[in-house]
């Protein structure tokens, strides 16, 4: 590769939060971009501010059998004066809590930046909207080391809160939506280098594998078998971020897994997409059969949940035989009544049938969990309690998923109306740990009591 081609640095920023843990989290979008650039002849490097295996970590690395583990963390001040944004008098609930930067130490990041050949262009990604201050701190250190190198910010926060990102992040440009489509233009605008992409972005099978080879160590690999979602749950931004539902072929997904397993000795794989089991006959089933016949003895996880309606006797059996270890079901609530308007995922009998099929296939009860959304606007404590009881009655684990209000979702207006904070002013207040839309009749303490209640079954 010619040294005349531009050097593009890709950066995964820090998390600023009350709590964070590596639940199979990798910046997949940025790694796809890195790979597309590399395969089009550019020189690409990558710095991961969330690198759990950074060489300066020493011997203090904890890795669970499934590849997950804790990040380094350091307590930091809140990113803004929260007193100015609170509508109710529950400020102590927030201020007594520890807020931290998760990821490598700032000096390690400076070291990593300096040891690079000076880049011509830097791409920074972003994930949760309420991690905005982590993005800002990341870019401020990049600018400290390379003040004259343009920084382009993309990703989920940039797409959902572009005005906030333009005003606060410190990036030279904020891009919204899928940055793959405008890569050529960005590279041309900032480096004057032209290339004609060798990939057809409409066809997911034509894309290269994400550039996991740029990571310091691979304890697991996340896999995305589709983009978008055929559903439009009111609390979810998926349809806004990826309006079209597109899928990869089972062969392409199988080839990717085979590659990471044989070339990088990876045994743990996490599926990111909720829609993995939709139209199983043409997608998931052929994939499962290939995995079973390959005898690779892999472990699969579904951290983002799978659709309950698609769990049949056949899909449960094939998942078990393929090596799925934990199953997370996207239940959200056991309010199955017609008044449930915010999603249309399932009916009561579909939930109980799915649990029956999974258990019959061989999954142990403690390995099956049902996500229950907690803290939705206007949600009552009784609804949450009832959901826990029904899930427990089915013999599997309730798993709380605290609701995050997300701009550009159908539920956003209702969230703004019902929030205890000024969530339109700053994404910090959308942090689900703050229970921003918890019904005013419910205390945070009672939610924690319910969490403990779950453990008593
Ligand atoms: S919550 Fe899941 S099923 Fe609903 S729209 Fe989002 S990705 Fe699709």
Q: Confirm or reject: Cβ of 274 under 6 Å from ligand 1.
A: yes
Rounded to 5 degrees, what are φ and ψ at 429?
-80, 0
- Give the position, in ligand 1's atom list, of the atom nearest the Cα of 239: 5
For 366, other C-beta atoms within 10 Å of its C-beta total 10
Q: Confirm or reject: Cβ of 245 under 6 Å from ligand 1.
A: no
Q: Residues 9-37: what's their mean pLDDT?
A: 97
CA distance 347 to 180: 38
Cα-Cα-Cα-Cα dihedral sign, residues 397, 403, 71, 172: positive
pLDDT confidence of residue 428: 94
Q: Do domains 7-191 and 220-455 have the same CATH topology?
A: no
Q: In the structure, what pLDDT confidence band is assigned to residue 58 with cuts at 50, 70 and 90?
A: confident
Q: Confirm or reject: Cβ of 373 under 6 Å from ligand 1.
A: no
Cβ–Cβ < 8 Å for 283, 247 = yes
Ligand 1 center to 233 CA (angstroms): 6
Q: Residues 212-229: what's their mean pLDDT?
A: 95
Ligand 1 center to 237 CA (angstroms): 8
- pLDDT tens digits, 420-436: 888 999 999 999 999 99
Q: Confirm or reject: Cβ of 229 under 6 Å from ligand 1.
A: yes
Residue range 7-191 in CATH 3.30.565.10: no
pLDDT confidence of residue 2: 57
Ligand 1 center to 227 CA (angstroms): 11
CATH architecture of 220-455: Alpha-Beta Horseshoe (3.80)
Locate the domains of the chain by residue range. 7-191, 220-455
| Strand-pair category, 100-102 with 73-75 | antiparallel
Residue of 343, 376, 406 to mutate, ligand 1, most atoms within 8 A of C-beta: 343
According to DSSP, residue 152 is labeled E
Q: In the structure, what pLDDT confidence band is assigned to residue 199 with cuts at 50, 70 and 90?
A: confident
pLDDT confidence of residue 278: 94
Q: Confirm or reject: Cβ of 410 under 6 Å from ligand 1.
A: no
Percent over 70 (pLDDT), the chain: 94
Report pTM. 0.93
Rounded to 5 degrees, what are φ and ψ at 159?
-75, -35
Q: Residues 313-328: what's their mean pLDDT?
A: 96
- pLDDT tens digits, 263-293: 999 999 999 988 899 999 999 999 999 999 9
- pLDDT tens digits, 334-365: 665 555 555 555 777 888 999 999 999 999 99
Residue closest via CA to ligand 1's atom 3 equals 231
Q: In the structure, what pLDDT confidence band is assigned to residue 83 with cuts at 50, 70 and 90?
A: confident
- Give the position, in ligand 1's atom list, of the atom nearest the Cα of 304: 2
Among 102, 9, 128, 109, CA closest to 50: 102
Q: Confirm or reject: Cβ of 215 under 6 Å from ligand 1.
A: no
Residue 399 has pLDDT above 60, yes or no: yes
pLDDT confidence of residue 88: 58
Q: Residues 75-86: what's their mean pLDDT?
A: 81
Q: Confirm or reject: Cβ of 176 under 6 Å from ligand 1.
A: no
Give the 3-state secondary structure of residue 99. Answer: coil
Residue closest via CA to ligand 1's atom 6 equals 236
Residue 305 has pLDDT above 70, yes or no: yes
Ligand 1 center to 231 CA (angstroms): 6
Residue closest via CA to ligand 1's atom 4 equals 233
Stretch among 20-34, 91-105, 393-407 having the lowest mean pLDDT: 91-105
Q: Residues 176-193: what's their mean pLDDT?
A: 94
For residue 7, the Cα-to-chain-centroid distance in whole angstroms is 27
């Amino acid at each position: 590769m010619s040294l005349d081609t531009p050097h593009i640095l890709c950066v995964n920023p820090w998390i600023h939060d009350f709590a964070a843990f590596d639940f199979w989290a990798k910046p997949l979008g940025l790694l796809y971009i890195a790979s597309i650039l590399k395969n089009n002849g550019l020189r690409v490097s990558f710095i991961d501010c969330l690198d759990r295996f950074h060489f300066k970590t020493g011997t203090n690395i904890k890795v669970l059998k499934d590849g997950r583990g804790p990040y380094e963390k350091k307590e930091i001040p809140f990113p803004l004066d929260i007193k100015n944004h609170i509508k109710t008098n529950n400020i102590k609930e927030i201020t007594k809590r520890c807020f931290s930067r998760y990821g490598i130490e700032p000096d390690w990041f400076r070291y990593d930046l300096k040891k690079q050949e000076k880049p011509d262009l830097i791409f920074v990604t972003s994930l949760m909207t309420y991690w905005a201050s982590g993005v800002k701190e990341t870019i401020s250190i990049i600018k400290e080391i390379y003040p004259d190198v343009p920084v382009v910010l993309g990703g989920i926060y940039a797409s959902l809160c572009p005005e906030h990102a333009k005003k606060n992040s410190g990036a030279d440009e904020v891009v919204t939506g899928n940055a793959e489509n405008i890569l050529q233009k960005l590279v041309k605008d900032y480096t004057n280098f032209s290339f004609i992409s060798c990939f057809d972005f409409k066809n997911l099978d034509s894309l290269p594998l994400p550039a996991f080879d740029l990571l310091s160590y691979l304890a697991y690999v996340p896999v995305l078998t589709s983009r978008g979602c055929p559903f439009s749950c009111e609390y979810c931004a998926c349809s806004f971020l990826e309006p079209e539902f597109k899928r990869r072929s089972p062969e392409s997904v199988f080839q990717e897994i085979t590659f990471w397993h044989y070339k990088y000795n990876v045994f743990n794989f996490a599926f990111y997409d909720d829609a993995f089991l939709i139209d199983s006959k043409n997608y998931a089933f052929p994939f499962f059969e290939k995995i079973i016949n390959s005898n690779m003895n892999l472990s699969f996880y579904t951290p983002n949940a799978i659709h309950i309606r698609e769990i049949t006797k056949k899909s449960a059996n094939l998942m078990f035989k393929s090596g799925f270890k934990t199953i997370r079901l996207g239940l959200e609530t056991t309010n199955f009544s017609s008044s449930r308007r915010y999603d249309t995922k399932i009916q009561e009998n579909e939930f109980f049938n799915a649990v029956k099929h999974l258990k019959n296939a061989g999954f142990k009860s403690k390995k099956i969990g049902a996500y229950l959304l907690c803290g939705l606007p206007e949600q009552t404590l009784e609804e949450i309690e009832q959901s826990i009881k029904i899930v427990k009655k089915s013999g599997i684990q309730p798993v709380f998923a605290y609701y995050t209000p997300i701009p550009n979702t159908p539920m956003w207006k209702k969230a703004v109306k019902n929030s205890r904070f000024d969530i339109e002013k700053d994404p910090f207040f959308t942090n689900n740990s703050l229970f921003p839309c918890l019904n005013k009749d419910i205390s945070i303490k009672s939610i924690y009591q319910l969490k403990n209640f779950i453990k008593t079954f």
